[in-house]
Amino acid sequence: MKIRSSVFFPFLALLVFVISVGCLCTGLTGGEPTQAPPVQQPTQPPVQQPTQAPVQQPTQPPATEAPVNNNNSGWVTFTDQKGFFVIEVPADWNYQQTADTENEYYYIDTFTSPDGGAVIESIVYNDGTPFKGSQNGQFALYILNKFYSKTGREGDIRISDDQIMKDGSERLTWTSKEGKYSGISYFEVRDSYNFLMFTVNWGNDMQETYFDTLNTVIESYRLP
Beta-carbon contacts of residue 207 (< 8 Å; ≥ 6 apart): 182
Per-domain residue ranges of the chain: 1-19+92-224
Beta-carbon contacts of residue 63 (< 8 Å; ≥ 6 apart): none
**139-146: long-range contacts, CB 8 A cutoff, minimum separation 24:** 139/15, 139/18, 139/19, 139/187, 139/195, 140/170, 140/172, 140/185, 140/187, 140/197, 141/24, 141/28, 141/33, 142/14, 142/18, 143/6, 143/197, 144/172, 144/174, 144/185, 145/33, 146/14
Q: How high is the pLDDT of residue 149? A: 94
Q: Confirm whether pTM is higher than 0.85.
A: no
Beta-carbon contacts of residue 133 (< 8 Å; ≥ 6 apart): 23
Q: Could you give the C-alpha distances from 149 to 96, 110, 122, 180, in angstroms and in order?
A: 20, 17, 17, 10
CA neighbor of 94 nearest in space, from 108, 75, 114: 114
Q: Could you give the C-alpha distances from 40 to 19, 37, 130, 132, 164, in angstroms and in order?
A: 11, 10, 20, 18, 31
pLDDT digits (tens, 9 = 90+) for 46-93: 332 322 333 333 333 333 333 333 335 699 999 999 999 999 999 999
Q: Is residue 74 within 8 Å of 65, Cβ to Cβ? A: no
Q: Could you give the C-alpha distances from 118 to 43, 115, 121, 184, 188, in angstroms and in order?
A: 39, 8, 10, 12, 23
pLDDT digits (tens, 9 = 90+) for 154-194: 999 999 999 999 999 999 999 999 999 999 999 999 999 99
Average pLDDT, the chain: 77
DSSP state at residue 197: E
Question: What is the fold, at CATH topology level, of the domain defined by 1-19+92-224?
Answer: Protein Transport Mog1p; Chain A (3.40.1000)
For residues 37 and 23, give the distance between their C-alpha atoms in angstroms, rounded to a whole number. 9
Q: How high is the pLDDT of residue 5? A: 55
